[in-house]
Amino acid sequence: MLGNVKNGYSALLGQNYCYIAPALKPYPFQWFWDTCFHVIILARLGEYDLAKRNLRSLFAMQEENGFVGHMIFWHQLLPKRLTDVTQARPTLQALRPHMSALIQPPFAAQALHTLYESCGDRVYLGEMYARVRRHHEWLAKNRDFDGDGLLSIISPFESGMDWKASYDLPLGYTERKTPRRLYTSKLYRKAVGVDLANFLLSYRLDEIKERGRFRVKDAGFNAIYAVDLHCMEKLAVLVGDEPKPFAERRRRVLQSMMTLMYDPGSTAFLDVHEPGSRKIPILTPTIFFPLAIEELDPSIAERILDRHFDDEGEFAAPLPMPSVEMRDPAFFTGETPFIWRGPTWAPTNWFLYHALRKRGFRERAGRLRRALTELVQASGFREYYDPLSGEGHGARDFTWSGLLLDMT
Ligand code: GLC
């Protein structure tokens, strides 16, 4: 991971930057949730200075209204991929250092909290708290489209779980099978079509809210949001700010999750497709993510786990947690550009590990940690792993498995 550090100076912005590329070749830029993972890993390594600089760089281009994009292009002028163009606003700014117009799961308060707890730097806390707070204000003001407290995503790529199988239905990809080729596949055209349509609307959220092709309330994204709000409450107390607004938001998130996402029939928290609040009946690991919310009724948590966690046709793979239930037609464990449709990913194990431990499910939490440890031992630091054979796939020297350091 330390070999992936990128340091530099942006003359245009008059700023130094420092970030870690998730993998040097395929992923050379700065990403939002990746940076939060890196900060947590660096905090565990005792690399406080590097962690501080990474988080500061993530917020360096934050807009006046608090927005921070999911990708930060520090010096790349020409796009690497088509989506680098369609995921940013159509302005000439895209030819200078800039951010994308998308967001990624809100982990910034969690990263800042871990970093502060490890290094105790109050001055840095004060500096970054103000920024993370503005980012949260932006989220609450701009992405709670329906006033129910839940955040909506406007592109599959905003969840960080790019081709997550539950998005097949909102995208209109009824075949459901994971295609083998990228550019010629219908799934690719549908997802890229969403970004293109948003691009043509200049990422004006008021219009996307009305006319957008993809409006999803993701159970994982919103559970992460609730945990981040909880960290905001703790950080607010530390800096002498008012924690109540964050507590109130968190309460609403859980309440709306119970009414809109929880499906007693399938005993799961399902992603919801708007307009119409249609629950998407496709099981991915994010059905478990709301267990991370402290106030969730323990009997519901237990029911979800009993029904889905230990089932060998669903998520109890030899090396869990597969990114879609194994019975799903999309389930594919090999190398593919259509990621997040079968393999095991480090952040899922890490996030659920903490959720389960806090609730006292130590054995199941231990299974997730053991699986990730074995995967790294057998296949190294890879982007994702086959949950059946343990084989590593995707990018090499990929940073995320370092989250194991935060699974003690
Ligand atoms: C892939 C992942 C996304 C991540 C990015 C950089 O697109 O799906 O979550 O942020 O790569 O690592």
Of all atoms in ligand 1, which is nearest to the CA of residue 32?
Answer: 10
Q: Report the C-alpha dihedral over residues 98, 103, 109, 111, rounded to 10 degrees.
A: -70
- Under the phi-then-psi rule, with left for phi > 0, alpha for psi from -120 to 50, and beta for the rest, what region is 14? left
Over residues 274-283, the pLDDT tens digits come to: 999 999 999 9
Can you tell me the mean pLDDT for 66-72? 97
Over residues 98-120, the pLDDT tens digits come to: 999 999 999 999 999 999 999 99
Residue 159 near residue 103, CB atoms below 8 Å: no
pLDDT value of residue 77 = 66
Pairing of strands 5-10, 15-20: antiparallel
What DSSP letter does each residue of 239-263 carry, written as one string?
A: HT---HHHHHHHHHHHHHIIIIIEE
Task: Show Cβ contacts of residue 193 under 8 Å, excluding neighbours closer than 6 positions.
Answer: 213
Residue nearest atom 3 of ligand 1, based on CA coordinates: 160
Task: Choose one of 6, 19, 20, 31 to mutate for the ligand 1 pocket test, by most ligand atoms within 8 angstroms of C-beta.
Answer: 31
Can you tell me the mean pLDDT for 174-195? 95
Of all atoms in ligand 1, which is nearest to the CA of residue 70?
Answer: 10
User: Residue 354 has which token pair?
Assistant: 């903490």
Residue nearest atom 11 of ligand 1, based on CA coordinates: 27
pLDDT value of residue 358 = 98
> How many whole angstroms separate alpha carbon 355 and alpha carbon 223?
10
Whether the per-residue pLDDT at 79 is higher than 80: the answer is no
Other Cβ atoms less than 10 A from the Cβ of 408: the count is: 7
Give the percent of the chain with pLDDT over 70.
99
Over residues 197-243, the pLDDT tens digits come to: 999 999 999 999 999 899 999 999 999 999 999 999 999 999 999 99
Of all atoms in ligand 1, which is nearest to the CA of residue 400?
Answer: 12
Instruction: Give the binding-site residues of ligand 1, using a 6 Å CB cut-off.
Output: 22, 27, 31, 33-34, 160, 162, 339
Q: How far is ligand 1, taken at its centre, from the CA of residue 160, in Å?
A: 6
Q: How far is ligand 1, taken at its centre, from the CA of residue 338, in Å?
A: 12
The residue type at 157: F
Helix (H) or strand (E) holding 363: helix 362-379
> How many whole angstroms separate alpha carbon 140 and alpha carbon 246?
10
Task: Choose one of 4, 32, 34 to mutate for the ligand 1 pocket test, by most ligand atoms within 8 angstroms of C-beta.
Answer: 34
Helix (H) or strand (E) holding 158: none
> How many whole angstroms separate alpha carbon 143 and alpha carbon 322?
29
Least confident range of 21-30, 34-43, 75-84, 145-154: 75-84
Of all atoms in ligand 1, which is nearest to the CA of residue 159?
Answer: 9
Q: How far is ligand 1, taken at its centre, from the CA of residue 158, in Å?
A: 10
> How many whole angstroms separate alpha carbon 214 and alpha carbon 198?
9
Residue nearest atom 9 of ligand 1, based on CA coordinates: 160
Q: How far is ligand 1, taken at its centre, from the CA of residue 305, in Å?
A: 27
Dihedral sign, Cα of residue 209, residue 210, residue 211, residue 213: positive
Residue nearest atom 2 of ligand 1, based on CA coordinates: 160
Beta bridge partner(s), residue 215 = 274
Q: How far is ligand 1, taken at its centre, from the CA of residue 107, in Å?
A: 14
Q: Which among 130, 100, 138, 139 has a CA at the least distance from the CA of 112?
A: 130
Whether the per-residue pLDDT at 93 is higher than 80: the answer is no
Can you tell me the mean pLDDT for 61-71? 97
Whether the per-residue pLDDT at 76 is higher than 70: the answer is no
